[in-house]
Amino acid sequence: MKLWGGRFTKETNQLVHNFNASISFDQKFFKQDIEGSIAHVTMLAKQGILSEPEKEAIISGLNGIREDIIKGTLSIDGTYEDIHSFVEANLIQRVGEAGKKLHTGRSRNDQVALDMKLYTRDELIQTKELLKNLLIVLQNTMKENLNTYMPGFTHLQKAQPITLAHHIGAYFEMFKRDYARLSDIYKRMNYSPIGSGALAGTTYPLDRNYTAKLLGFDGPTLNSMDSVADRDYLIEFLSALSIIMMHLSRFCEEIILWNSNEYQFVELDDAYSTGSSIMPQKKNPDIAELVRGKTGRVYGSLISLLTTMKGLPLAYNKDMQEDKELTFDATDTVKGCLGLFTGMLSSMKFNKSVMALSAKKGFTNATDAADYLVNHGVPFRDAHTIVGQLVLYCINKGIALEDMALEEFKAICPVFEKDVYEAISLKTCVEKRNTIGAPGKAAMEQVIALNDEFLRSISENRENLSF
């Protein structure tokens, strides 16, 4: 059954039908389509546009369709143009005349705008839940590694010592921002387009506030043309998903490096790595590589929708049907990646002694040696040069700064005394960095307490995003 056969004298060309149809993908939101229709007819009956018995018949028919599809006793017929036509036709088969009134005061334009919003809202909530699980794993890893020393890098060169807790804490901040971004988008998108009609509202006395309330929206949208033409919330959502993937991808890149034979900072669990068909010794970080690889695909969805939207005149245009497959693909991809990444991270082992040794070997305490001299009255620029000479001396001898004898220190600069060893130990280098945000234990403990409060607030649904 077509929804629009009346003014046509010929059958649609089969290729045209196939090209135009969206049922192969928009069936993904059959539940939201039915949920929206139930709210719409509830409102129509409240307004006296449908009778109570008509409303009851339609709602029980729609509930039956939903149950049967879920049970598998009704399969979605792919010869229909879209999910909206399929549900309406099936409803009419089930409940007869009353079913023909379902579409009163509604167009597919506001219907599809509603369905897509409801679907995206559900996906957004699931994405937040997955981010929360990841944040919990990150926070636990931080708590366990306040004293796990490792080198911090700039330019991928060893720079200054930090702790694993501090490094992981950087990712906590990124994913916390991602979480907050999704909450912002939710707030902005949570207005109901249904009742906007094709583009210019409708002559029926609809109560759009009521339908919006039934569907958990904060209110109705305020311009019927914008309502059917707006896909900003999808672009925002795809943008937030792209940023999540960028963060996951950076983390994956580090895990791939850390898991390499050269670093050996981590060991991936067997359950989260794969082997080679030819090289028996190999244990590959395929999951991390795939997450990194799939990032491009999610960016692609964002650019694709931005490009689709850029030249569209108001109001609805069929181009907008292209919003679906790419959004479905991006949300499924990101949800899959978040779940797998969290599992991989929580099962991964950190080789703490290798990390500490690496920090010790890379002259990561050179800045602290210079600061030692500054604290003993040497101007920083001179101290920088002196420590440069110490480093050169150590490179030639193949030793670390703290392996030098006091006489060797003094031969280059007499200011050094035996308390230099304490001053440039890994522990001191980290522990003295106690401004908020720095790796010192006292500073990290303050951040961890704030993170705990943040996690509590989101678990108890009283989100406090001002951290």
Phi, psi (rounded to 5 degrees) for 2 = -95, 155
* 240 exposure class (CB count in 10 Å sphere: 0-12, 13-18, 19+): buried
Q: Is 230 in the site for ligand ARG (CB under 6 A)?
A: no
Q: Is 108 in the site for ligand ARG (CB under 6 A)?
A: yes
Please choose, out of 107-115, 120-128, 166-174, 293-301, the segment that lies near ligand ARG by the rule CB under 6 A: 107-115
In the bound state with ligand ARG, the residue whose beta carbon lies nearer, of 321 and 367, is 321
Q: Enumerate long-range contacts of 444-453, CB under 8 Å, 24 or more apart.
A: 444/142, 444/146, 444/163, 444/165, 444/166, 444/169, 445/146, 447/169, 448/139, 448/142, 448/143, 448/165, 451/135, 451/139, 451/142, 451/172, 451/176, 452/139
How is 226-262 classified by DSSP, letter by letter? HHHH--HHHHHHHHHHHHHHHHHHHHHHHHHHHTSTT
The amino acid that residue 137 corresponds to is: V
Question: From residue 26 to residue 65, what is the string marking binding to ligand ARG with x (rule CB under 6 A)?
Answer: x---------------------------------------
Q: Is 321 in the site for ligand ARG (CB under 6 A)?
A: yes
Q: Is 106 in the site for ligand ARG (CB under 6 A)?
A: no
In the bound state with ligand ARG, the residue whose beta carbon lies nearer, of 83 and 373, is 83
Total residues interacting with ligand ARG, rule: CB under 6 A: 11
Instruction: Say which residue the tokens 């978040």 belong to.
Output: 338
In the bound state with ligand ARG, the residue whose beta carbon lies nearer, of 33 and 54, is 33
Q: Could you give the CA distance from residue 353 to residue 20 in angstroms, rounded to a whole number? A: 61
List binders of ligand ARG among 80-99 (CB under 6 A): 82
276 is annotated as an active-site residue: yes
Q: How far is the CB of 115 from ligand ARG (least distance, A)?
A: 9
In the bound state with ligand ARG, the residue whose beta carbon lies nearer, of 16 and 436, is 16
Q: Could you give the CA distance from residue 467 to residue 176 in angstroms, rounded to a whole number? A: 9
Please choose, out of 251-259, 273-281, 313-321, 458-466, the segment that lies near ligand ARG by the rule CB under 6 A: 313-321
User: What tokens were used for 53?
Assistant: 């018995």
Q: How far is the CB of 309 from ligand ARG (least distance, A)?
A: 13
User: What tokens were used for 170?
Assistant: 């950087």
In the bound state with ligand ARG, the residue whose beta carbon lies nearer, of 141 and 308, is 308
User: What tokens were used for 25?
Assistant: 């993908």
Selected catalytic residue, list 24, 276, 353, 459? 276
> Among residues 109, 141, 148, 304, which is the contact residue for ligand ARG, using CB under 6 A?
109
CB count within 10 Å of CB 82 equals: 23
166 is annotated as an active-site residue: no
CB count within 10 Å of CB 120 equals: 24
* Catalytic residue annotation: 155, 276
For ligand ARG, the binding residues (CB under 6 A) are 22, 26, 82, 108-109, 112, 316, 318, 320-321, 324
